[in-house]
Structure 1
Amino acid sequence: MLIAPLAALTLLSAQEQHNHPAPEKLGSVSFATLCKPQVQPEFNRAVALLHSFTYKEADEGFHHVAHQDPNCAIAHWGSAMTHYHQLWDIPPSPADTAAAKQEITQAAALHATERERAFIQAFSFIVSDTSVPYSTRASRYEEAMQQIATANPNDPEAQVFYALALISNASPLDREHRKQKQAAGILEPLFRKYPDHPGIPHYLIHACDNQELASQGLPAARVYAGIAPSAPHALHMPSHIFTRLGLWNDSITSNLAARKAAQQQNDIGEELHAMDYLVYAYLQNGDDQKALLTIQQLKAMNNLRMNDFKVGYAATAMPIRYIVERQKWNEAQQVTNPSDTAPPQVTAIAVWARGLGHARSGHPQQSEQEAKTLQSLEDRLQAAGNSYWTSQVQIMKLEIMAWSAQASHQPAQAATILRTAADEEDGIEKLPLTPGPIVPAREQLGDLLLLQSNSKAASEAFAAALQNAPGRRGALRGAALASRN
């Protein structure tokens, strides 16, 4: 299949030195459709935007295609897919589910090819009956995408969307990364055949966003930004691999470009996402001043939608990273909860920071109260069926309990609890949206053991922490201190 060039559009830049706008560059996609030939270039462009998670612009593109060709069924499928953020917004919000269901119903009512109808039917499993648990719906979607990929072995779009379904359904408890490896096995041959396709390196990066496979994802990380530089997310995504490998300067370069592009496109979520990764990388690089400047710029941003997890997480995590990574425990005690509209897992980060601040300042009773608050947030998440964040908040709670025990002069109990937290955290992969825990539990265990004058065990903990998260400044500093004692 030939890869058709995308329609050339423009992207205005505040830094332009002349009046000629820069050409849009999103990569090359060719998705065969039954739609009118004159809308095919714009449809391909919308699919390219979808592959780079530029959802709003993709949705606008699909709607414009449907307006120009009211009989284009697959355009409604495309719009539905823009409401399915399957790597982090799990399950989809009621608003996104309703919007997607409306679009997929329209798609199903129109004439389509057998292949198009298969794509439409596959997505209908996600939104047609929300009384079915999301995990079941996602599994049915994956199975349907597998059938499409099998029936269309020479269709890169069928293969790429199937690979994404595999990645999105990968269990965070599977430390063998079987689905990720299966997806990479599909994508790597396509990467050689279609070097300008934006979805292939994007999803390869996600498949390899774990310590085992990170080096395997580096070639994709090195080229994705050059394939689709007009998409802020494409500029940011390489930093997932750079973060895994401790390549902080590369991560900073990536996210500075992503932030600039997001600002130009008024994409607040993507801008904050890039800023969070910037703060993380600056802190690991020892550049506290640039981290602080980024946080000050965050505080100047008004009317943030804290109920949006992508926005709420980044806005909450950035200042807490700055405080906790620098072990400013008095400041940690003063952390306030985000907006009442923030998701419980976002509020939990602030509660955790306060609890840690109280315990590390020698106030175990206040810390224990924060642990109880984390328990209530954990219960809310469990009742909502959010198993991933239930586990993450449970780990935060154990960390606070451990440091409270240390503050209460119970060192053996503290080490036992924190070791349990580290074991649990090491057994769960991070969510794709985050650079990682504010401070990994294994690194905290090293700090605790060092405080207890157990240098040998502390060295072992720091070594394990650095294996899981190479180049983290706190673990490197702790390992150096442990080696001198």
Structure 2
Amino acid sequence: MLIVATLMGASASISTAWAQETHSHPAPEKLGTVSFPTSCAPNVAHDFERAVALLHSFAYTAAETAFQNVAKADPACAMAHWGAAMSYYHELWGPPSPAELQKGQAEVEQAQRLNAKTDRERQLIAAIAAYYRDADRLPPPVRAKAYEKAMSTVAKNYSADTEVQVFYALSLIATAPPEDKTHANQKRAAAILEPIYRSYPDHPGIAHYLIHAYDSAELAPRGLAAARAYSKIAPSAPHALHMPSHIFTRLGLWDDSIASNIAARTAAHNQHDVGEELHAMDYLVYAYLQRGRQKEAEQVVAELDAMDALSGSDFKVGYAATAMPVRLAMERHQWDAAIALKALPESAPHVAAVVYWARAVANARAGHPQAASDDIARLDTCRQQLQAAGNAYWATQVDVLSKEARAWQLAANNQPKEAVDQLSQAAAEEDAVEKLPVTPGPIIPAREQLGDLLLSQHRPQEALQAYRIALADAPGRLGALTGAAKAADLAGDTRTAQQMRAKLPEKID
């Protein structure tokens, strides 16, 4: 059983690998408690469990290296190759690159050739093989579902095996349909994890995956205990320090989110994990803005501007680096700053779309509706590219952005009814799907924008209703609270206006 894993100075090459792989989270000095018996040689048991613990904290590159070292120490250990294959499958992030797919397939084949000594191990290897099978013709969601289905069988066969149950729960979260607002998969995962968590409170994967299971407006209150625990289970891991802010953001606990992401950012910077540092910085900017601490948000964006050679090709890096200056400009209605934004080099369509949206909306709201047309056309092109690539989730998100931009252009062109219709459609479309873990939420929720539009049309009661819905999904957002207070005043609803103002920060920079 691995109780505490510490980084030995053994491996400078591992540190270099971490710095190069921005999708990965560097190996923490403390990994928590993992018990994963295998038929491998007794002398590799500790190292194998350490590798599994790394995997649970999404330290993918370090986990890959650790599993490969186990394979070198025990060439007959089939499960070492299972672990290496698992390290290329980033279940809650983007799918493996072509190179990672090739490596994963090779590891699966080697694991199968070694013919693991126990049925449990053979079933786990068969499950990850289901993900890599036919990777040249089947899209990632189909293969992820195949893995989840295979893990369901393993979980039934080994219902008392903690690690099997934990990995199965993660597969359920990874295959949860974004459009399922009942959160059926997440609830199934939580029902598996919660009883195990009571027995194994120091297990990194259980706390980590409970946070992801509860990362929705409906379920977030249930995630507070795991959120506060995970950072203590693996306090040296940037990702463990950041993860509580997923729940804090859902609940509008901005001071907690700020503290969480300052710690995560510092740890990530010290460990040269650019992706995790930017991820924490994006959540930090978001929380600062909601708390009214605008100068501190400005400082984070200034520090972002000083970072060299950021590219939009890596989604985790590209999204965070793109979103931060957009948030800063758009949340504060600084239209000129938004109009001047530029997309990062090599940005994926759904990353560049954030900039095109900001420029289009800013031009329209600044009274230049015709100037918005080119960026609206760019948004349409991004959506078409995503649809052609089979990326339905992000195609939908970009369609929402396009409708929002068109709505503000219509409003600027004195077409108020058409503008409200378009923005109402965007809000309904956005409400119908959950966000992905890479973002704290939309730059400005469509429902909140609808409130702004209705308020500008002197329809305060309808605006207040839009703001209420927006706040139910994203509590504590400064723009929605401010707008709701204004709308309530204009509607003569003094009590609601007072309630909304009572939730505003005491001081706004």
Normalising by the smaller structure, the TM-score range is over 0.9
Label 1:484 to 1:10 Cα distance change in 2 as closer, same or farther (>3 A): farther
Percent of residue pairs bearing the same amino acid type:
55
Equivalent residue, structure 2, for 1:5: 3
1:165 deviates by: 0.4
1:363 aligned onto 2:368: yes
Q: Within 5 Å, which residues of 2 pair with 1:96-115?
A: 96-112=100-116, 113-115=118-120
SS of match in other structure, 1:465? helix
SS of match in other structure, 2:194? helix
Deviations 1:412-453 (A, max 9, x none): 100010011001101110011110000000000000011111
Worse-matched range after superposition: 96-105 or 162-171 = 96-105
SS of match in other structure, 1:109? helix
Equivalent residue, structure 2, for 1:196: 202
Give the counterpart of 1:126 among 122, 131, 134: 131
Give the counterpart of 2:32 among 27, 36, 54: 27
Where structure 2 has 5 or more consecutive residues not aligned to the other structure, the ranges are 11-27, 491-509
Give the counterpart of 2:450 among 441, 445, 469: 445
SS of match in other structure, 1:212? coil
Q: Within 5 Å, which residues of 2 pair with 1:164-313?
A: 164-313=170-319
Q: Within 5 Å, which residues of 2 pair with 1:406-417?
A: 406-417=411-422
1:9 deviates by: 3.1
Equivalent residue, structure 2, for 1:320: 326
For the residues of structure 2 that align with 1:94 and 1:347, how far apart are their CA atoms?
23
For the residues of structure 1 that align with 2:31 and 2:280, how far apart are their CA atoms?
19
Equivalent residue, structure 2, for 1:405: 410
Q: Within 5 Å, which residues of 2 pair with 1:144-183?
A: 144-183=150-189
2:204 maps to amino acid: P
Give the counterpart of 1:469 among 474, 477, 496: 474
8 Å Cα contact 1:66/1:72 also seen in 2: yes
Label 1:441 to 1:11 Cα distance change in 2 as closer, same or farther (>3 A): farther
Equivalent residue, structure 2, for 1:351: 356
For the residues of structure 2 that align with 1:98 and 1:377, how far apart are their CA atoms?
29
Equivalent residue, structure 2, for 1:19: none
For the residues of structure 1 that align with 2:46 and 2:237, how far apart are their CA atoms?
18
TM-score w.r.t. structure 2 length?
Answer: 0.91
Deviations 1:94-153 (A, max 9, x none): 222122112222212113122112111111111121212333222211111011111111
Deviations 1:388-430 (A, max 9, x none): 0000000000000000000100011000100110011011100
For the residues of structure 2 that align with 1:297 and 1:26, how far apart are their CA atoms?
30
Equivalent residue, structure 1, for 2:17: none
1:176 maps to amino acid: T
For the residues of structure 1 that align with 2:443 and 2:405, how far apart are their CA atoms?
13
For the residues of structure 2 that align with 1:248 and 1:211, how far apart are their CA atoms?
15
SS of match in other structure, 2:426? helix
1:102 maps to amino acid: A
Worse-matched range after superposition: 64-73 or 130-139 = 130-139
8 Å Cα contact 2:310/2:344 also seen in 1: no
1:376 aligned onto 2:381: yes
TM-score w.r.t. structure 1 length?
Answer: 0.95
8 Å Cα contact 2:2/2:32 also seen in 1: no
RCO comparison, higher one (Cα < 8 Å, 6+): 2
Label 1:11 to 1:210 Cα distance change in 2 as closer, same or farther (>3 A): farther
For the residues of structure 2 that align with 1:303 and 1:99, how far apart are their CA atoms?
28
For the residues of structure 2 that align with 1:304 and 1:177, how far apart are their CA atoms?
35
Deviations 1:172-229 (A, max 9, x none): 1111010110000000001101011000011000010000100011110011100011
Worse-matched range after superposition: 130-139 or 31-40 = 130-139
8 Å Cα contact 2:322/2:355 also seen in 1: yes
2:394 maps to amino acid: W
1:10 deviates by: 4.9
1:59 deviates by: 1.4
SS of match in other structure, 2:325? helix
For the residues of structure 2 that align with 1:96 and 1:351, how far apart are their CA atoms?
31
For the residues of structure 2 that align with 1:256 and 1:54, how far apart are their CA atoms?
20
SS of match in other structure, 1:85? coil
SS of match in other structure, 2:380? helix
Equivalent residue, structure 2, for 1:20: none
Equivalent residue, structure 1, for 2:46: 41
For the residues of structure 1 that align with 2:412 and 2:143, how far apart are their CA atoms?
46
1:88 aligned onto 2:68: no
For the residues of structure 2 that align with 1:7 and 1:137, how far apart are their CA atoms?
32
Q: How many residues align?
A: 471
8 Å Cα contact 2:336/2:362 also seen in 1: yes
1:386 aligned onto 2:384: no
